[in-house]
Structure 1
Amino acid sequence: MRPRHLSRRVLLAGGAAALTACSASGPPPQPPSQAPDSPETLLLKELIAEKERTIALYSSLIAGGAQKLVPFRDRHQAHLNELRKHVKATAPTRLSASGSATPSATAMPKTSLSRLRDLERKAAALRARQLASVSPGMAQLIASIGACEAAHAVALPRSL
């Protein structure tokens, strides 16, 4: 009896089946990775996080009876709402029944009017530097927010 030689076609077909079987038992294919955020989106996310912290600081004083600060906090909430329109999948700040933003689970630092005034002043100064890397429409929004923050720094009451 003569030894049987396998044809090239039979060998290739068997090799392809073996490769398919090996790859089927391996790890599942990974979905394509999400494209990195643009510099403008990164800035918007930073602004959103900053606004959430600012709202929480105002809310902590309002919860202590500083009702004079409600309009200031509400303007920051309006800024936050507008910023969120330009970024997908950003979790909204939860509002309590009184309409105040609920602070995160982390402990809130001691807040004072002078701290809020300083925060508003620094935020307003930062806005001008942020305009260079964004589209014209976004630059208008950020400049408007900065103008409001500058007005807050001046208009905050000296005492509660």
Structure 2
Amino acid sequence: METTELTISADLLASRTKRFLNLLIDLFIVYLFTIGIGALINGLGVVTGNFQVADWIINLSPTENALFGMIVMFFYYFIMEFYLSRTFGKYFTKTLVVKPNGSKPHLKSILIRTLVRFIPIEIVSFLNNNSRGWHDTLSVTYVVNKHEFLAKAKL
């Protein structure tokens, strides 16, 4: 029995517009999670009568706030893409992350993908002719249109 591997072709790749929309949605979700965690900590302080942690969160410097947001962002992308191959932004745009053979990315690929997002100039990597950034190329992953991908995978 002959087995053939699925190869990711240019027609399956998500457009730059979808990728940008993914970014905007995901940053908004990370922002909501960050605020939600702060509100939860404050609420726990009210319930327990212990406001030490809540006071610490309220008095974070801008740098500490940015670091806290980056930690939330790391876990958001890592957990969502490792377990689901998608983030909320990708659910909305009907895209998903795959390896070149169409399989689900492994732990190492998702870890690299997530860490590369924190390179300050990574956003300029989308200025090339295709819709792949450094977090795609260095992790050897693709963001594809889900329905087109699944249709091709059935063939």
Whether the TM-score (by the shorter chain) exceeds 0.5 is no
Q: Greater Rg, structure 1 or structure 2?
A: 1
Indicate the structure whose relative CO is greater, using CA pairs within 8 Å and at least 6 residues apart.
Answer: 2
TM normalised by structure 2 equals 0.29
